[in-house]
Structure 1
Amino acid sequence: MSDGLPYFRYHPDPVATGSIRASADRCVCCDRSRGWIYTATFYTEHDIDGPFCPWCIADGSAAERFEGDFTDCFGLDGVSEDVVHEVTRRTPRLQQLAAAALVGPLRGRGGLGRRGRIRGAGEVPRGS
């Protein structure tokens, strides 16, 4: 895990998986440049013009302000609502390849599908 970043219990090293990377970009939620941005998908019905910082993901402010989720709860049947909330609204989404290795056992029966349209809030091309 990178020093100084918030800790995500269900995604302990989002830098290694590519969900968070170093960047001088400003967070669309808090309007601060903190040195790191989220690079994966955020599901919402709102138009979002920019990336989120890890701190706005960790404290839930990004999901609350933009009424969205970082992942769906597919495979989380039978777990507490608190865990579902933490995974979907306060945890960076795992990039596709890492997800299979890290959360494969969580996959299961049904769950919440995509909410609204996929917006590119965190989809920042590598190298920019």
Structure 2
Amino acid sequence: MAQGRKLHPSVNKFKEFVAENPHLIRDVRNGDTTWQQLYEEWYLLGEEDPRWDKNSGVKKEEVEDDSSKKDWMGQLAELAKKVEPGQIQSHLYNLSQALGAIQGLIGQFQQQPSQQAPPSEPIPQHPFPFRKD
């Protein structure tokens, strides 16, 4: 930055704010946000907004992670209650049959090109005959 150029007073206040909140520097370095985004949010929300509390974001993420884990585990338990062992075995058998058919098809396609290819003529080692003087 040029020495003779003065910054806008709001930019200087933002720099002071960032100095008081070093977790914002870490967020930018980690690629979670940009300086432009932070400045715009700071300018619109002000310094007293709960968004700037370094612990508030972590707590929200932890709560969301815990609730999503409980939801997922609950859904899995409900699904396990509804499924009958006979159905599972039937579905696995059908899947095995389908995979076998697909493997057989792939095997046929791999064999056909080598069987149908006409015998190729030998390629000369030197396509252009040059004579040495």
The two structures have a TM-score, normalised by structure 2, of 0.21
Q: Which is strand-richer, 1 or 2?
A: 1
Structure of greater Rg: 2
Q: Which is helix-richer, 1 or 2?
A: 2
Between the two structures, name the one with larger relative contact order (CA 8 Å, sep ≥ 6): 1
